[in-house]
Chains A and B, each alone.
Chain A
Amino acid sequence: KNQVEQSPQSLIILEGKNCTLQCNYTVSPFSNLRWYKQDTGRGPVSLTIMTFSENTKSNGRYTATLDADTKQSSLHITASQLSDSASYICVVSSTSGGSYIPTFGRGTSLIVHP
């Protein structure tokens, strides 16, 4: 069964600090891994996408890493801002017979305090 596990479940940090969110997955066959940011009551917005051959991808203050051997990914947020307060969801996708069905993690809830 395809699964995506995220840790920690929630995280509180002070504005300006860095943080790292973790994602472990058992999805096969692997197609790509995405990190999404979801503000409360809103739809998820894509931050990064990585395929099997990529091990790092940056989007501004967000940097994602991927270790396809250990099936782990991390999202590092640098110099956090109050607007970073949101849920961060790791999504791992596989393709089979032309279909594309992603598996979602439960997300890490990040709260940035002033």
Chain B
Amino acid sequence: DAGVTQSPTHLIKTRGQQVTLRCSPKSGHDTVSWYQQALGQGPQFIFQYYEEEERQRGNFPDRFSGHQFPNYSSELNVNALLLGDSALYLCASSFRGAAAFYGYTFGSGTRLTVV
């Protein structure tokens, strides 16, 4: 039973560029959430996707956008990269009907470095 898969594992981009990160949820999960984790900090909620729509959004600018596909996989896009966007980006999946109890399964993350 595959867990949450994220790609790529590491990425280096130049300031001003755009980046796309990908996530495949755990089998049986239908909801995907994205988090940004700066070094030494806890994860910060970016947004959550369910039924191919953004359902909740954290305090992140419009440069951060996402998409969910019919197979429940998801992408996180970041435009006009800033040095401060350097972080570990975590994808977490859940089953919406029981997320409150079973919670999230996290992927190993994508380490984004902006230079």
Interface residues of A (CB under 8 A from B): 4, 31-32, 34, 36, 41-46, 49, 51, 89, 91, 93, 95, 98-102, 104-107, 109
Contact = CB atoms under 8 A, between A and B. Distances in A.
B42 A105 contact: yes
Nearest to B10: A41
B108 A32 contact: no
Given A44-B43, A45-B106, 6 more contacts: A34-B103, A91-B103, A93-B100, A99-B55, A102-B45, A107-B42
Nearest to A89: B42
Given A46-B103, A49-B101, A93-B100, A101 B45 contact: yes
B99 interface: yes
Contacts of B94: 100
B42 A100 contact: no
A105 B41 CA distance: 8
Contacts, number: 61
Closest 9 CB pairs of A and B: A43-B106, A104-B42, A106-B42, A100-B99, A43-B108, A104-B43, A44-B106, A100-B100, A31-B100
Contacts of B42: 4, 89, 104-107
Interface string B43-67: 1110010000001100000000000
A99 B107 contact: no
Of the listed residues B42, B92, B99, B104, the one surrounded by the most CB atoms of chain A closer than 10 A to its CB is B42
A43 B48 CA distance: 17
How many B residues touch the partner, as a band? 20 to 34
17 contacts: A34-B103, A41-B88, A42-B109, A43-B4, A43-B92, A43-B107, A43-B109, A44-B43, A49-B103, A51-B101, A89-B42, A95-B100, A98-B96, A101-B56, A102-B104, A104-B42, A109-B40
A42 B107 CA distance: 8
Give chain A's interface secondary structure class. strand
Contact of B108 (A42, A104, A105): A42
Nearest to A98: B96
A32 B108 CA distance: 23
